[in-house]
Amino acid sequence: MSAAADLLSVSPTRSPSLRLAGRSGKVSAWTFPELEGPVLLEVRRFADARGVFAETYSHRDFAALGIGDVFVQDNWSRSNSVGTVRGLHFQRPPHAQAKLVRVVRGRILDVAVDLRRSSPGFGRHVTVELAEDDGRMLYVPVGFAHGFCTLEPNSEVAYKVTDVYAPECDAGVAWDDPDLAIAWPVARDVAVLSEKDARLPRLAALEAPFA
């Protein structure tokens, strides 16, 4: 088992192990055995006296690992404070989005919550720590809500999405919903959120749009 497994935690009723799903080119893929969908990816980094180089995305290699999505938009955010929470977000069909998330500066706890009604993992989640220097990223498929909490100041997150932003399809779930039992690294009374995210409904009040 790779040392990548040390970075993973999932909901309390789930195993914290990772399973190597495959390698293609410079990319390794790790799956969460008890929650099908999200994939932790690790790209090879090349370091020398100048610094570091990495090929952060190759459609050929990702497709060979089962991620053949066509990404149509790149997004970026910078969060000034430790304990900033963004999420839990998703877009409803017909503009549902898969995401490929990585950190370009700082460190975050990244979270994906299963919103597929027919899934045995409905309402469960995976969390993984991503950092600027680890070469790792999280693939969040359609049918999941996504969010993160910053662990360092001025953390910057870049992510690819498979559909454009559509305000009429924009939706989310309360980050601190007790039914989700996510072990966030920040207390509710000190977390930094947008007004919009602070008003998101609990999962029980949400009509999940994913079968």
Question: Would you please indicate which residues are annotated as catalytic (active-site) residues?
Answer: 89, 159
> DSSP string spanning 85-104?
EEEEEEE-TTS---EEEEEE
Q: How many CB atoms lie within 10 A of CB 2?
A: 13
Q: Are the beta carbons of 96 and 142 closer than 8 angstroms?
A: yes
- The rounded distance, in Å, linking the Cα atoms of 69 and 98 is 8
- Burial category of 159 from C-beta neighbours within 10 Å (exposed 0-12, middle 13-18, buried 19 and up): buried
* Distance of alpha carbon 38 from the chain centroid: 8
